[in-house]
Structure 1
Amino acid sequence: MKLYYFPGACSLATHVVLEWLGAPYETVKLDRDGTKSPEFLKLNPNGAVPLLVDGDFVLSQNAAILTYLAASHPNAGLFGDGTTRGRAEVMKWLSLLNSDVHPAFKPIFAPNRYHPDASQSKVVADTARRNVREYLERINGRMKGREWIADQRSVADPYLFVMLRWTVKLHIDAKGLDNLASFFARMLADPGVRASIVAEEGSVDANARLVA
């Protein structure tokens, strides 16, 4: 398998899952220009990462890739307890992260895409920060007494971890989110997570904390 990724992007979630699976894979590091190159656009016309190539199968969209990896490696136990309800529980949280939480960050990263008046960029970004905080509060409540968002380790957890890394990077208020802070620290100590970060960024910030 081959993973196309961009450092700092949500493709880190797929990278972590590949590490957890222990299956052979290789990576291709891209920058922003690389995602728009003619060669890459032939593989993914959307010009976005992650992109997974498995033999002659080319798959884009993080939720689809994570689901594919979990379903094609059932012995890894990353898709619930093996029951239909267990898989649905993983998909519920994966869908929330992909369809709601992830998009909530976009106006913070690029407020000009959501309002043509540059003078309104701060208003757009601040509103998005509040929206992200609301999602995190709900997920923090879900994590009370749990180590993993879907009750056992799954492909949804690395995606949540990426959202929390963005929370730290963007200095979004995380005060009081102690359950998520514990999850973040636990993930940051995971060998597969650390290996993925080192491969993409060169090192792991040992002092990174969700809640200062």
Structure 2
Amino acid sequence: MKLYSKPGACSTADHIALQWTGGAFEVEVLDKDSMKAPAFLAINPAGAVPAVVDGAFVLTQNAAIMGYIADNFPQAQLAGDGSPQQRAEAARWLAFVNSDLHPAFKPIFGPGNYHPDPAQADTVRQLARERVRALYATADQRLADRQWLAGFRSYADPYLYITLRWADSVKVDLSGYQHLAAFKQRMEADTGVQAALKAEGLL
């Protein structure tokens, strides 16, 4: 299995998940130019990461890739212990990050896609920051009495961690979210997280 990743993008979460499996995999680290080069466009015509190539099988979309990793390395229990309940909890929190939290950052990264007037860019960004902060309240409350979003270490946790790195970089106010802060510290102390960050030049 080979993962194509861009440092700090949501694909880094897949890289962490692969590190957590303890299994064999490859990672090719791309930049914005190599993502648009013919070699990668042949794998993903959208020119976006993550993408996974496993033999003749090519898979894109982060949530699908996380599920594929979990299914290929069941011993890591990234989707739980095999019970429908734990699988559903892992999927629920992956969906929260993938469908609610991640898209909420898009107006911060590209305000021009949401308002045509460049003079309104700062307003668009600030409104998006407030929306992101409100979403993080759900995660902070969830982590009040547990170390992991699903109640066990799952593929939702690396994705949440990567969004917290984004929040730092675009100055989302996370003051008062002590449980999220503790989660971020635990993740940064994790050897698998450190290995993925190092491989992508993020340490």
Instruction: Letter of the 2:158 partner, please give it.
Output: P
Find the residue that maps to 1:160 and give its secondary structure.
helix
* Alignment-derived partner of residue 14 in structure 2: 14
Structure 1 unaligned blocks of 5 or more: 204-212
Matches within 5 A, 1:20-39: 20-39=20-39
Once the two structures are superposed, what CA deviation does each residue of 1:158-202 show, in whole Å capped at 9, x if it has no partner?
A: 000001111111111010000000000000000000010011015
Helix, strand or coil: the match of 1:196? helix
2:23–2:73 Cα contact (<8 Å) kept: no
1:80 counterpart residue number: 80
Does the 8 Å contact 2:8/2:202 carry over to 1? Answer: no
Residue 124 (structure 2) pairs with residue 127 (structure 1): no
Q: Provide the rounded CA distance (Å) in 2 between the counterparts of 1:13 and 1:126.
A: 26
Q: Is the 8 A contact 2:7 2:202 kept in 1?
A: no
What is the alpha-carbon root mean square deviation over aligned residues? 0.9
The answer for the alignment partner of 2:71 in structure 1 is 71
Count how many residue pairs are aligned between Structure 1 and Structure 2: 203
CA distance in 2, matches of 1:64, 1:144: 28
Matched, 1:196 2:196: yes
What do residues 22-49 of structure 1 show as CA deviations (whole Å, max 9, x unaligned)?
Answer: 1111111111121112221111111110
Higher relative contact order structure (alpha carbons within 8 Å, sequence separation ≥ 6) = 2
Partner-residue secondary structure (3-state), 2:200 = helix
4+ long deviations beyond 3 Å: none
Shift of 1:18: 0.8
165-174 vs 151-160, which moves further: 165-174
Aligned match of 1:172: 172
Tell me the residue number matched to 1:154. 154
TM-score by length of 1: 0.93
Q: Which residue of 2 aligns with 1:49?
A: 49
Aligned 8 A contact 2:90 2:156 in 1: yes
| Alpha-carbon spacing, 1:39–1:187, altered in 2? closer, same or farther (3 Å) | same
Normalising by the residue count of structure 2, what TM-score does the alignment of the two structures yield?
Answer: 0.97
